[in-house]
Structure 1
Amino acid sequence: MHVVLVADHAYVNGGQAKVAIDAALGLAARGVQVTLFAACGPADPRLAAGGVRVVCLSQDDVSTTRNKLAFLAQAIWNGAAAKALAAELARCDPADTVVHVHAFAKALSPAIGVALRRSGLPLLYTLHEFFLVCPNGGFYEYPAAAICRRAPMSGACLSTNCDAQSYPRKLARVVRHLGMTRVAKLPTIFRHVVTISDLQERVVAPHLPRGTTFHRVDNPISVAHQPLRAGAPGDFLFVGRISTEKGAPIFAEAARRAGVRPVFVGDGEQRVELAARYPEARMLGWRDGPAVQALMREARALVFPSVWYEGQPLTVYEALACGTPVVVSDACAGREAVIDGQTGLLFRSGDPDALAAQLGRLTDDAVAARMGAAAHARYWAAPLSLDAHLDRLGQVYDAVMHEAADGRSAARTALRDTPTLLAAGATPGAASR
């Protein structure tokens, strides 16, 4: 099998790229021929060392470009990426190749859809976010700080400023979305779509073609299996971007109402304001993975108050693996990881009083310890390991390739039978009517 992974970045700059690169390395270690095609570098050096062929265009993304206008054109339609991908896919054999797209919205653009469609290769897409159906990628209205339930590209959608920065940027994304649906036709070329939560499938299914096949593939979690930490649990912990959509202000206010100290690991646009408004909060800044997990093991609970859908919040699963209960908003996909009252607690999204009440329950050391032990046991009974991720990917790749092989066989049969039908006086379409 030859797997071509398509992503915006050839290095780890977030969850999407990490999943793609981890999968590339894991598949190559299992003897699969792997190519990673990406717009932005430099390429992670582990890829070449692990036997992964890397095709990196060394293009800019929004964080590295010096010419915002030129990047806007690239983000809407990256013709260079489409041309390079077409050349790469032309070298592939349809009989043993599957093309797995992880990302396009940060650099590659919808233009890659033209190359994908013309390649005739078996295709698969992973929904790390919602750009395949939603212009702003999140079904979230940033100015109103609320989940958006408008139909994508409807009149109500087009007239609403949902962008995190400005309405002109929303309009640019609308233009890109039109290119994606009308020219590249990305939503129609992926018969197979990977989702990373049940919520994702429920949200996107009404907006994708009927007959789309969904495959659930959980992202891998990198946490070492360690015994539960002894001793009294510590503070309530928030890990991630300190922003409104992540619910950081709600956590800070709820902690004050509950009379507990909030601890924030991360950074974001709300950090300075929250530090000034809530001086009792501890702001630790960003920490590397091992340091974050050490803090999780010491915490009383991880608080995940996100007010938007999320995809599959890995922080929630990391905390459970560390033996830390999770208090999570009932509006986001993180709720799927928690058994309410056993491994953590749910609260009404956006409600600081509801969150404060749940924090109060966990101030009881015995309750926190009991839930932490249950979380640890349940996670490690079926851990989201890289091996489990690769096993499931292998099953999906087989299904996608077998369907493509059946389609090629049916096409060959129809082509072979056409002369016989014509000789008998039938029209070429008669056999299918």
Structure 2
Amino acid sequence: MSHLTVVICVDHAFVSGGQSKVAIESAVGLKAAGARVIFFSACGPVDERLAAAGVEVVCLGQHDILGNPSRLAAARQGVWNQPAAAALAKTLDELSYDQTIIHVHGWAKALSPAIAKPIQAAGLPAVYTMHEYFLNCPNGGFYNFQKGAVCPLQPMSLACWTTNCDSRNYPFKLWRNARQFVAGHVAHLAETFSDIILLSDLQQKVLATCLPEGAAIHRVTNPVEAEPLGRKPDPAAGDFLFVGRLSAEKGAFLFAEAAKRAGVTPVFVGDGPVAGELRARFPHARLLGWKSPAQARDAMRAARALVFPSLWYETFGLTALEAKAMGAPAIVADGCAAREAVEDGVTGLWFKSGDVDSLASAIRELNNDAVIADMSRKAYDAYWAAPASLERHVRETLAVYEQALTRGAEG
């Protein structure tokens, strides 16, 4: 697409999680495909890959909400980040609007709902990738952290207001609801987007009654960083491995207990708020700490199987797809989006979400060398038959932009 300009908006200009990781890789890929890319973010440091690729960066050097030393300033910024809105307005004002797209990957950790106003004023096609559920749910996950279970309540209903579902405390939940009210009724954030990108079938189901009317809905595959190393030479070697944030909702305790019952040693790559408790409660577990993405992929390549025991919906399950690319079968909770990366009984196993005995049973099944060898081969072959490459991600993203621009021109 010649003369295309893309303004990518996301909270962090560095890899703080899957959301910013995809935004950065997408920016680099779109630039390589010939687009002018402007990367707009609140918080640094700036990932060196952006400048190396020739991506223009506007980074405001702000704190994110959790990193702000002033709780009052953080609360105010989270609801309405006026400096970010002003800076985005200035960035957009300086552009030639022909063939320009705004693509928001995240706003809830720093940019705030305020970015809706300059986007609306520009009148440009605006795309939103649903990396989480903050567009609809105050805590971003349709999940009750206090109960440790998926939340069935209608967002912003009276029951939602009176339920303490937050991972911290009830006052923080009320602040989140207030922000959601501002996003919906002051910023009109959801209606700002002409196009919404979803990442999984599960998301489409969860959001069936929540998506803004009139927005075009698309599916774009997140890019997976992986090399075709060939089938694993010794698939029965290695451990049962967890990769990701060590938190209760990610199922860290569930995996540790299931591994104990199955008689295997659980291995964890990652860090997070429950690391200390996990170590204390399960001294047999091996906690390897945080690793770089390349080191995490090496760990998956060496693992017998990945375990993805997440208790909440998730949006995509990138780790399960990365493991598949490495030839590591995955055991995934059947209530989360990662199940879509696994053909049950062929390239891995599903277990009943939240059920420790079901997970322990799946671990025992994959402790069979013949079973794991067969699944490893099939997982590797299935992934590389249609890899989730950056090139594929860029191709699918450009198709969304083309449709949005065409509709905008017709409108």
The 3-state SS of whatever aligns with 1:206 is coil
Q: Which moved more, 1:13-22 or 1:365-374?
A: 13-22
Which residue is equivalent to 2:361?
A: 357
Which residue is equivalent to 1:20?
A: 23
Match of 1:184 among 187, 211, 234: 187
Which residue is equivalent to 1:110?
A: 113
- Return the letter of the residue paired with 2:394: L
Deviation at 1:218, TM superposition (A): 1.0
Which residue is equivalent to 2:340?
A: 336
Deviation at 1:212, TM superposition (A): 2.5
Please say if residues 269 and 289 of structure 2, whose CA atoms lie closer than 8 Å, have aligned partners that are also in contact. yes
Distance 1:332 1:163 in 2: 20
- Return the letter of the residue paired with 2:253: P
Deviation at 1:229, TM superposition (A): 2.4
Distance 2:152 2:198 in 1: 19
Q: Which moved more, 1:338-347 or 1:228-237?
A: 228-237
- For the pair 1:175 / 2:178, whether they are aligned, the reply is yes
Distance 2:87 2:274 in 1: 40
Deviation at 1:63, TM superposition (A): 4.1
Which residue is equivalent to 1:146?
A: 149
Deviation at 1:200, TM superposition (A): 1.1
Q: Following superposition of structure 1 onto structure 2, how do residues 125-136 of structure 1 map, counting pairs within 5 Å?
A: 125-136=128-139
Distance 1:47 1:274 in 2: 37
Match of 1:31 among 21, 31, 34: 34
Which residue is equivalent to 1:381?
A: 385
Please say if residues 232 and 376 of structure 2, whose CA atoms lie closer than 8 Å, have aligned partners that are also in contact. no
Q: Which moved more, 1:156-165 or 1:44-53?
A: 44-53
Distance 1:298 1:34 in 2: 37
Q: Deviations over 1:100-154 (max 9, x none)?
A: 1111111110011111111111111110000000111111100100001110000
Distance 2:90 2:108 in 1: 21
- For the pair 1:212 / 2:215, whether they are aligned, the reply is yes
Please say if residues 307 and 331 of structure 2, whose CA atoms lie closer than 8 Å, have aligned partners that are also in contact. yes
The 3-state SS of whatever aligns with 1:294 is helix
Which residue is equivalent to 2:93?
A: 90
Q: Normalising by the residue count of structure 2, what TM-score does the alignment of the two structures yield? A: 0.97
Deviation at 1:236, TM superposition (A): 0.7
Match of 2:371 among 367, 372, 379: 367
Deviation at 1:225, TM superposition (A): 0.9
Which residue is equivalent to 2:228?
A: 225
Please say if residues 31 and 54 of structure 2, whose CA atoms lie closer than 8 Å, have aligned partners that are also in contact. yes
Q: Deviations over 1:382-428 (max 9, x none)?
A: 00000000000110000000000001xxxxxxxxxxxxxxxxxxxxx
**Runs of 5+ unmatched residues, structure 2:** none
The 3-state SS of whatever aligns with 1:184 is coil
Q: Which moved more, 1:339-348 or 1:87-96?
A: 87-96
Distance 1:161 1:228 in 2: 47
Distance 2:279 2:52 in 1: 43
Please say if residues 250 and 352 of structure 1, whose CA atoms lie closer than 8 Å, have aligned partners that are also in contact. yes
- For the pair 1:7 / 2:7, whether they are aligned, the reply is no
Match of 1:292 among 296, 299, 309: 296
Q: Deviations over 1:273-300 (max 9, x none)?
A: 2222222211111122222222212211
Q: Which moved more, 1:212-221 or 1:224-233?
A: 224-233
Deviation at 1:67, TM superposition (A): 1.2
Distance 1:393 1:383 in 2: 16
Q: Normalising by the residue count of structure 1, what TM-score does the alignment of the two structures yield? A: 0.92
The 3-state SS of whatever aligns with 2:213 is coil
Please say if residues 95 and 405 of structure 1, whose CA atoms lie closer than 8 Å, have aligned partners that are also in contact. no
